[in-house]
């Protein structure tokens, strides 16, 4: 056949009529070229995707060679898809092309920027723990920016959150005041597990910590005495749990434990002392005002006395003048005479 192919240039170089050409040689040469081309393509494809396809075939992962070739054109890493598909098949998950974790769905999640391996590990962990988590929900949680594997692990193994969290607030205790005015410094630990149904759109740890802190402060504030809280700390946790603080959050509160309770200052007594001091200052100010008013009134009275004395002196000064005027006019009479 190669001899026939080598003879083609010589045939076309000769001035031989077309009808005299050996069409058998030409057709054989074309078929040979096509076969060689297909053989080269097959060798390249086998070298690039053969190992991955054989791995998927032996694992019954249901990945075709055409899908692997298409991944190369779609800029999808075949190794990631193959590894995820093999993991799903070996874990006993549904990999049906219509209803299960198909190759096209994995490619779509990869192209959307999702973490396929994280999603697959989360689904396998949920399947082992008998938790209802399908691929669509896991992919949605992953694309929403949440760590779906950590969510599943937290759902299986509950997580403990400090309230307050020193790393977030910088405080180590919550400060609450009972009705008797005594301050209590409380440190609690909240055990939560992930609520996968509300993980998308649900409130985060910060909201849970804030709600628990608010509930503890309210419960202590409604206690008649701080001694009741020290005697029965569990009444605080029961009151907080009864309020349903995990509503609309991504977590379910398992328990709230009082880790430490310290007695602080007697805020009520200090406030009463401050109020008494303020009242004393107020009374002193009022007394000073009254004293100043009395002094002012006394000065006014003294001024009036001086004024009256002056008027009296003026009146007394007018008497001699009147008497002189009377003598001058002869208005005075002796006894029995005009």
For 209-245, write each residue's pLDDT tens digit. 888 888 888 888 888 887 887 877 777 888 887 877 7
How far apart are the C-alpha atoms of 60 and 90, rounded to whole Å? 8
Question: Using CA of residue 214, residue 219, residue 220, residue 224, what is the dihedral sign?
Answer: positive
Tokens of 99: 């209803």
The reported pLDDT for the residue numbered 22 is 65
For the stretch 102-134, pLDDT in tens is 888 898 999 999 899 999 999 998 888 888 888
Q: How confident is the model at residue 7 (pLDDT cuts 50, 70, 90)?
A: very low
pTM (predicted TM-score) = 0.60
* Comparison of pLDDT for 261 and 287, the residue scoring more: 287
The reported pLDDT for the residue numbered 118 is 92
Beta strand 182-194 with 159-163 is antiparallel
Closest CA relative to residue 192, chosen from 202, 184, 201, 183: 202
pLDDT at residue 331 is higher than 70:
no
Q: How many residues does the chain have?
A: 338
> What average pLDDT score do residues 281-298 get?
88
Lowest mean pLDDT among 17-26, 178-187, 218-227, 278-287: 17-26
Whether 195 contacts 239, CB under 8 Å: no
pLDDT at residue 337 is higher than 80:
no
Superfamily of domain 169-264: Band 7 domain (3.30.479.30)
> Percentage of residues in the chain with pLDDT exceeding 90?
3
> What average pLDDT score do residues 65-94 get?
85
Q: How confident is the model at residue 332 (pLDDT cuts 50, 70, 90)?
A: low
pLDDT at residue 138 is higher than 60:
yes
Residue boundaries of the structural domains of the chain: 2-154, 169-264
Tokens of 176: 């609450």
How far apart are the C-alpha atoms of 163 and 259, rounded to whole Å? 10
- Other CB atoms closer than 10 Å to residue 239's CB: what's the count? 17
Whether 266 contacts 180, CB under 8 Å: no
Lowest mean pLDDT among 11-20, 57-66, 93-102: 11-20
The reported pLDDT for the residue numbered 121 is 92
The reported pLDDT for the residue numbered 1 is 41
């Amino acid at each position: 056949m190669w001899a026939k192919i080598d003879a083609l240039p010589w045939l076309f170089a000769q001035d031989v009529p077309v009808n005299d050409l050996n069409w058998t040689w030409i057709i054989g040469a074309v078929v040979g070229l096509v076969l060689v081309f297909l053989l080269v393509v097959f060798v390249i494809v086998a070298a690039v995707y053969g190992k991955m396809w054989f791995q998927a075939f032996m694992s019954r992962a249901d990945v075709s060679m055409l899908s692997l070739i298409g991944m190369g054109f779609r800029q999808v890493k075949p190794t990631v898809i193959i590894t995820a598909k093999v993991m799903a098949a070996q874990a006993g998950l549904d990999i049906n092309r219509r209803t299960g974790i198909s190759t096209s769905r994995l490619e779509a999640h990869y192209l959307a920027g999702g973490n396929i391996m994280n999603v697959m590990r989360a689904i396998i962990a949920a399947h082992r723990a008998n938790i209802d988590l399908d691929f669509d929900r896991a992919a949605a949680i992953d694309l929403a920016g949440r760590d779906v594997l950590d969510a599943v692990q937290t759902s299986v193994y509950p997580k403990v959150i400090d309230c307050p969290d020193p790393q977030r607030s910088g405080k180590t205790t919550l400060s609450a005041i009972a009705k008797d005015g005594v301050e209590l410094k409380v440190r609690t630990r909240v055990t939560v597990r992930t609520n996968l149904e509300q993980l998308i759109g649900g409130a985060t740890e910060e909201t849970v910590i804030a709600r628990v802190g608010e509930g503890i402060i309210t419960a202590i504030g409604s206690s008649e005495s701080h001694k009741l809280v020290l005697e029965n700390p569990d009444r605080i946790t029961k009151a907080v749990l009864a309020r349903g603080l995990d509503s609309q959050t991504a977590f379910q509160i398992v328990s709230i434990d009082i880790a430490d309770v310290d007695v602080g200052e007697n805020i009520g007594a200090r406030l009463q002392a401050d109020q008494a001091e303020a009242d004393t200052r107020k009374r002193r100010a009022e007394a000073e005002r009254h004293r100043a008013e009395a002094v002012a009134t006394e000065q006014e009275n003294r001024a009036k006395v001086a004024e009256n004395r002056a008027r009296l002196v003026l009146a007394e000064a007018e008497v001699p003048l009147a008497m002189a005027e009377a003598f001058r006019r002869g208005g005075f009479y002796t006894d029995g005479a005009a």
